[in-house]
Chains A and B, each alone.
Chain A
């Protein structure tokens, strides 16, 4: 690997460098994914642009409407430990805290996580279930992308080559909404999920489900939205979740790998969807 390393202190110059070098440039945030890809020769950029000195990309704060803004360069551990993130939802901090080890969480950033787009990652399904969006900046302007639409395939996002994620914005949570993130780890506690389930759920005053948002990790090329399960839950009472959870099998497309066969993951997806719903309806 031979490249020029740049470390601009402002977003503007970083965007200029990206626009100027196009395909030949690669961003590095925490570096946990990029260092490995560079070393394996899977990335061979002529220019690497470090984001660590750009202060405007940091920070975690409540928004004026009661939502939450997480700067792209906030580390996983900063989110996990943030009282503001916990006040937004403990399920959010759970999702960040379930990533690998403290060492990885100290180094890996939220923007890097979302841009890396490994379907087995923990934060994306939870952020998607909360209806979060990312803000993407380029020298051409700024746009907002729902986290649910960011990943389009394994390790592939809908970001253009000249765009930088500047922040993740979570909308205010509707009163009475419950949320949970469950990660199935049959081998070691620091592993990637075999299956993970992120869900938010709101009950009506009569105890039936008024709204549900459910995303699964590690069972398809991107986080998968379990629409059929959501639809089946709406208007139902707490008793009948097993039937709804069973519909998850029609949504997912897991692959055989070291974490289990496709068939096993399919079964586990149903079990863990049901457990997540049971926890939310307890």
Chain B
């Protein structure tokens, strides 16, 4: 097995580490970087629990080889709040009850952050088609939708 030196930014901080060729991004984040906010759900790219941003693009950390993130900038749920101040989206999730058990929340927040980055005032259809792949096992979808609407200034 070959090993590879990766230099990347995680939530704004420089990281420099060596990983085996078969490392996945989810394990790089949780095991090697100790950033356990990102959760492993289905492990096959379906459920959205491990949603992260790589150079601003929303991807499933369980499907991305770690070697692909060399020289990129990654944002996980830990990177949303600045100096303890929640983003308007995080605040809206709290106000609107955008979660129940919370396991899918890091992925929901990251997916919705990417949505609002691309569509600051998304329509209902845009919210639904964008968030469609982020599954909430508690079926708290209305709260999640309201939270996104609120963060977008729609309520």
A4 at the interface (CB under 8 A from B): yes
Q: Is the CB of B133 within 8 A of A7?
A: no
A3 nearest CB neighbor, chain B only? B21
Q: Is the CB of A31 within 8 A of B65?
A: yes
Q: Is the CB of A189 within 8 A of B132?
A: yes
Which residues of A line the B interface, CB within 8 A?
Answer: 1-5, 7, 28, 31-32, 35-36, 38-39, 48, 50, 52, 77, 100-104, 106-107, 188-190
Q: Is the CB of A104 within 8 A of B68?
A: no
Q: Is the CB of A103 within 8 A of B51?
A: yes
6 more A-B contacts (CB under 8 A) besides A2-B22, A5-B2, A52-B68? A1-B22, A35-B63, A36-B63, A101-B132, A104-B133, A106-B57
Chain A residues near B59: list those with CB within 8 A: 103, 106-107
Which residues of B line the A interface, CB within 8 A?
Answer: 1-2, 4, 21-22, 24, 43-46, 48, 51, 57-60, 63-65, 67-68, 111, 114, 129-130, 132-133
Chain A residues near B21: list those with CB within 8 A: 3-5, 48
Q: Across chains A and B, which 7 residue pairs bring their CB atoms closest together, nearest first? A: A101-B133, A5-B21, A2-B1, A4-B2, A106-B57, A103-B60, A1-B22
- Could you tell me the distance between the alpha carbons of A126 and B63 in the complex, rounded to whole angstroms? 26
- Could you tell me the distance between the alpha carbons of A103 and B111 in the complex, rounded to whole angstroms? 9
Partner of A32 from B43, B63, B67, B132 at Cβ < 8 Å: B63
Chain A residues near B2: list those with CB within 8 A: 3-5
Chain B residues near A50: list those with CB within 8 A: 65, 67-68
Partner of B58 from A2, A3, A38, A106 at Cβ < 8 Å: A106
B132 nearest CB neighbor, chain A only? A189
Chain A residues near B114: list those with CB within 8 A: 102
A-B CB pair tally, cutoff 8 Å = 74
- Could you tell me the distance between the alpha carbons of A103 and B63 in the complex, rounded to whole angstroms? 10
Q: Is the CB of B133 within 8 A of A5?
A: no
Partner of A190 from B43, B46, B68 at Cβ < 8 Å: B46
A101 nearest CB neighbor, chain B only? B133
Partner of A104 from B22, B45, B129, B130 at Cβ < 8 Å: B45
- Could you tell me the distance between the alpha carbons of A189 and B46 in the complex, rounded to whole angstroms? 12
Q: Is the CB of B60 within 8 A of A7?
A: no
A36 nearest CB neighbor, chain B only? B44
Partner of A189 from B43, B58, B63, B129 at Cβ < 8 Å: B129
Chain B residues near A102: list those with CB within 8 A: 58, 111, 114, 130, 133
A188 nearest CB neighbor, chain B only? B132
- Could you tell me the distance between the alpha carbons of A20 and B139 in the complex, rounded to whole angstroms? 51
Chain B residues near A32: list those with CB within 8 A: 45, 63
Chain B residues near A101: list those with CB within 8 A: 48, 132-133
5 contacts between A and B (CB under 8 A): A3-B21, A32-B45, A101-B132, A102-B130, A104-B63
With both chains docked as a complex, state the minimum distance between the C-beta of B105 and any C-beta of chain A, in angstroms. Answer: 16
Q: Is the CB of A31 within 8 A of B68?
A: yes
With both chains docked as a complex, state the minimum distance between the C-beta of B39 and any C-beta of chain A, in angstroms. Answer: 14
Chain A residues near B57: list those with CB within 8 A: 77, 106
Q: Is the CB of B24 within 8 A of A103?
A: no
- Could you tell me the distance between the alpha carbons of A28 and B22 in the complex, rounded to whole angstroms? 12
Chain A residues near B45: list those with CB within 8 A: 32, 36, 100, 103-104
- Could you tell me the distance between the alpha carbons of A5 and B6 in the complex, rounded to whole angstroms? 13
Chain A residues near B22: list those with CB within 8 A: 1-3, 38
Q: Is the CB of B132 within 8 A of A190?
A: yes
Chain B residues near A100: list those with CB within 8 A: 45, 133
- Could you tell me the distance between the alpha carbons of A121 and B108 in the complex, rounded to whole angstroms? 26
- Could you tell me the distance between the alpha carbons of A107 and B72 in the complex, rounded to whole angstroms? 14
Chain A residues near B130: list those with CB within 8 A: 102
With both chains docked as a complex, state the minimum distance between the C-beta of A101 and any C-beta of chain B, in angstroms. Answer: 3
- Could you tell me the distance between the alpha carbons of A35 and B60 in the complex, rounded to whole angstroms? 12
With both chains docked as a complex, state the minimum distance between the C-beta of A82 and any C-beta of chain B, in angstroms. Answer: 15
